[in-house]
Amino acid sequence: MPKIRWGSSLAWLLAAFFVLGAWGNTFVTAEIAADYARWGYPEGFHYLTAIFELTAAVMLIFRPLRLYGSLFGSAVMLAAAGTVLFHGEYAHAMPPFAVLAGCLLVAILTVRSRRSRQRRA
């Protein structure tokens, strides 16, 4: 029976989340565009967000880049949480914080896995 790697499973789940986020920020609805405008971001900033999310997703998929992807994804989610908190939208900060926690967990599990492989070598 194959051993389940929780870090890898969570990394792939987060990668899927970031791909969906990139898609949503590439093809924004009028409501999302209005959110970006209300937050004071320049027109087209959602494309930069989409690029960041897609970058995090790709890095999470590839094991050698997974640690960097989880840290980059953490930065993206910190920025998202910071934006809504700064604008008093406290309830909207919970999803970014949940994804941030997942990214940090992947980082921890990735470091542990690397150390374990080094000890065996």
**pLDDT tens-digit map of 8-28:** 999 999 999 999 999 999 999
Residue 2 confidence (pLDDT): 60
Least confident among 43-52, 60-69, 110-119: 110-119
40: left (phi over 0), alpha (psi -120 to 50) or beta: left
* Structural domain boundaries in the chain: 6-120
Residue 91 confidence (pLDDT): 96
- 50 confidence band (pLDDT: 50, 70, 90): very high
Alpha-carbon distance of 106 to 14, in angstroms, equals: 9
Residue 120 confidence (pLDDT): 83
- Let me know: does 81 contact 89? Beta carbons within 8 Å: no
Instruction: Determine the 3-state secondary structure of 118 from DSSP.
Output: helix
Alpha-carbon distance of 52 to 49, in angstroms, equals: 5
Residue 57 C-beta-side C-alpha neighbours within 13 Å: 16
**pLDDT tens-digit map of 52-99:** 999 999 999 999 999 999 999 999 999 999 999 999 999 999 999 999
Residue 8 confidence (pLDDT): 92
Q: Please tell me what DSSP assigns to residue 24.
A: H
Residue 121 has pLDDT above 90, yes or no: no
Q: Please tell me what DSSP assigns to residue 91.
A: G
